[in-house]
């Protein structure tokens, strides 16, 4: 299969729209900086020269423990152009977590934020060279050298490794996902087309850059379309709409949790906002969806994808998006539902596993790092097994039905935690909810709920929530205990880390706890 390298997509953008804005940077304090495609390419050439001075060439790994910053973008693109690869890490990860990633992936260089250099040191013992940079520095002096002459470099091949990204670990120990040059190009092409992105548009990036969402859906798509990106140092629920208006962004990508935070801060539509398109992952309630549509000025479109699937393989309709539907297979992607046992096609209206077909290293990830067993286990007859369940209705809409780990066996009956969470979240005083299974001597396992109340509300009790569930759920589906918690444990992009809740009697960060038994 013919496929372009992501390096060629960047080169094409620089050649085609050299004077158009590429990156606008907001450091969170009011200071801003901007670069055209041509200006940023010159910066990338100097960062590539610095990498060469450190002995980093084609095939070299670079560990990036950086928050959102121009340095992250420049190091990423310099690696892309030279054929090196990045290992992006959450800069707030523990030294133990970073050390584990470094041991598994074996990069040679490390770049960390200056303010966290001392915390990074214990993780960096196996690296040949470590450099600290100030994420707010727009000059990037510590990582700039003599500009490389691109004409003298070997052009990266499509299947060359471009990154290793560790999965977020919401349900288990993270695995290293190998992402190729072709993968980034495919993600950018597909997501740009799905969002009708052109060079006249601008992406707003508030999610962390070390995560696949910001890389695949926002930056790669912008580069493939010649569009610009407004990069924020961090997500701010209270400033999101002001930032969208200030930078005249047209496109954005979020998760459900940040969107709920925007609503919880009382966000309103801001004059001058030009938002036309907002992707989001995971479900919000119908009431929240309608309120968000009014705030954004457009109807958000739900999508579904994983680090391994590269683009979002399911995207909701641009004309008629629905709050509870992930949509249809994205143009250019192959998706079907398979029987949970044998993988056979499942009828309309029945639960099946989401399966994705593609070419490994081109339209699907290149495999799990140094783990052929895990890679083989994730595939079935050429289809990647996502571990996620869905239902397809008679209009072809895919609706999320939980992960395999989110189907509980309660007294012999299947209970979807997603369904129970949706009922809890519909309570007018609930901001969000998570449901996990707990072993039970009589019923094998039972659902247990963790609930965060809506800011500003008072008087919510576990007993009231139990009564609510009794009115909306069959007895087997009702949570046996409900805990009111201040917050839910999350990954850096807001996904709930359910394995930290499962099987224990309380959640991290609790303010109060109440039990209700049915």
What are the chain's domains? 411-500 (3.30.300.30)
pLDDT higher than 50, residue 513: no
Phi-psi region of 196 (alpha: psi -120 to 50; beta: other; left: phi over 0): left
Q: What pLDDT does residue 509 have?
A: 35
Q: In this structure, are residues 345 and 336 in contact, taking their beta carbons and an 8 Å threshold? A: yes
d(CA 416, CA 467): 19
Least confident range from 13-27, 134-148, 463-477: namely 463-477
The 10s digit of each residue's pLDDT in 23-49 is 999 999 888 999 999 999 999 999 999
Q: How many angstroms from the chain centroid is the CA of residue 502?
A: 22
d(CA 50, CA 66): 17
| 247 φ/ψ angles, rounded to the nearest 5 degrees | -100, 5
More reliable by pLDDT, 345 or 515: 345
**Bridge partner residues of 433 (DSSP):** 451
**What DSSP state is assigned to residue 360?**
B
**Across residues 142-151, what is the average pLDDT?**
94
Provide the mean pLDDT of the chain: 91
d(CA 434, CA 489): 10
d(CA 342, CA 266): 48
pLDDT higher than 90, residue 78: yes
Nearest to 77 by CA among 44, 38, 109: 44
pLDDT higher than 60, residue 508: no
d(CA 269, CA 81): 40
Nearest to 235 by CA among 495, 420, 409, 492: 492
**Across residues 494-514, what is the average pLDDT?**
56
DSSP H helices, 297-327, are: none
Q: What pLDDT does residue 172 have?
A: 52
The band of 374, judged by pLDDT with boundaries at 50, 70 and 90, is very high
The 10s digit of each residue's pLDDT in 287-312 is 999 999 999 999 999 999 999 999 99
Q: In this structure, are residues 251 and 276 in contact, taking their beta carbons and an 8 Å threshold? A: yes
d(CA 451, CA 438): 16
Location of structure tokens 């009382």: 266
The 10s digit of each residue's pLDDT in 444-493 is 789 999 999 998 888 899 999 999 999 988 788 999 999 999 999 987 66
pLDDT higher than 80, residue 171: no
- Longest pairwise C-alpha distance within the chain: 71
d(CA 370, CA 27): 37
Q: What pLDDT does residue 502 have?
A: 64
Q: What pLDDT does residue 173 have?
A: 62
- pLDDT above 70 as % of the chain: 94
**What DSSP state is assigned to residue 151?**
G
Least confident range from 94-103, 220-229, 331-340, 355-364: namely 94-103
Location of structure tokens 């001392």: 118
Measure the N-to-C terminal CA separation of the chain; round to a whole number of Å.
57
Q: What pLDDT does residue 506 have?
A: 44
Q: Which two tokens stand for residue 180?
A: 């190729």
Nearest to 89 by CA among 188, 163, 179: 163
Q: What pLDDT does residue 518 have?
A: 33
């Amino acid at each position: 299969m013919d496929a372009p390298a992501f390096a060629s997509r960047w080169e094409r953008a620089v050649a085609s729209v050299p004077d158009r804005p590429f990156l606008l940077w907001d450091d969170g304090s009011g200071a801003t900086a901007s670069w055209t495609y041509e200006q940023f390419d010159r910066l990338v050439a100097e960062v590539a020269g610095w990498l060469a001075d450190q002995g980093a060439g084609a095939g070299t790994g670079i560990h990036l423990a950086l928050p959102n910053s121009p340095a992250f973008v420049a190091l990423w693109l310099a690696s892309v152009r030279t054929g090196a690869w990045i290992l992006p890490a959450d800069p707030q990860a523990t030294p133990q977590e970073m050390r584990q990633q470094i041991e598994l992936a074996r990069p040679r260089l490390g770049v960390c934020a200056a303010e966290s250099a001392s915390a990074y040191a214990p993780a960096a013992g196996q690296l040949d060279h470590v450099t600290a940079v100030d994420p707010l520095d727009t000059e990037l002096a510590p990582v700039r050298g003599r500009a490389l002459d691109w004409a003298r470099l070997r052009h990266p091949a499509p299947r060359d490794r471009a990154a290793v990204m560790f999965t977020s670990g919401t349900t288990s120990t993270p695995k290293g996902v190998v992402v190729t040059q072709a993968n980034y190009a495919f993600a950018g092409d597909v997501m740009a087309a799905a969002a009708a992105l052109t060079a006249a548009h601008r992406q707003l990036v508030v999610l962390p850059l070390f995560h696949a969402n910001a890389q695949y859906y926002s930056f790669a798509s912008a580069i493939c379309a010649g569009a610009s990106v407004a990069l924020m140092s961090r997500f701010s629920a209270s400033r999101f709409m002001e930032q969208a208006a200030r930078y005249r962004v047209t496109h954005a990508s979020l998760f459900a949790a940040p969107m709920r935070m925007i609503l919880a801060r009382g966000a309103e539509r801001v004059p001058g906002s030009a938002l036309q398109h907002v992707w989001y992952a995971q479900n919000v309630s119908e009431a929240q969806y309608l309120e968000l549509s009014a705030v954004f000025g457009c109807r958000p479109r739900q999508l579904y994808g994983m680090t391994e699937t590269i683009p979002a393989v399911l995207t909701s309709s641009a004309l008629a998006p629905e709050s509870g539907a992930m949509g249809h297979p994205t143009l250019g992607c192959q998706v079907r539902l398979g029987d949970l046992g044998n993988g056979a096609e499942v009828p309309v209206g029945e639960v099946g596993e989401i399966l994705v077909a593609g070419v490994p290293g081109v339209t699907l990830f290149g495999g799990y790092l140094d783990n052929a067993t895990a890679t083989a286990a994730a595939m079935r007859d050429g289809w990647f097994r996502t571990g996620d369940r869905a239902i397809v209705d008679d209009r072809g809409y895919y609706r999320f039905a939980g992960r395999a780990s989110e189907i509980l066996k309660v007294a012999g009956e299947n209970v979807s935690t997603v369904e129970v969470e949706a009922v809890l979240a519909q309570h007018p005083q609930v901001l969000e909810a998570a449901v996990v299974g707990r072993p039970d001597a009589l019923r094998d396992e039972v659902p247990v709920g963790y609930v965060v109340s809506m800011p500003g509300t008072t008087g919510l009790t576990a007993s009231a929530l139990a009564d609510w569930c009794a009115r909306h759920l069959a007895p087997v589906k009702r949570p046996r205990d409900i805990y009111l918690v201040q917050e839910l444990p999350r990954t850096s992009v807001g996904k709930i880390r359910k394995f930290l809740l499962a099987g224990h009697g309380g959640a991290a960060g609790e303010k109060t706890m109440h039990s209700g038994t049915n």
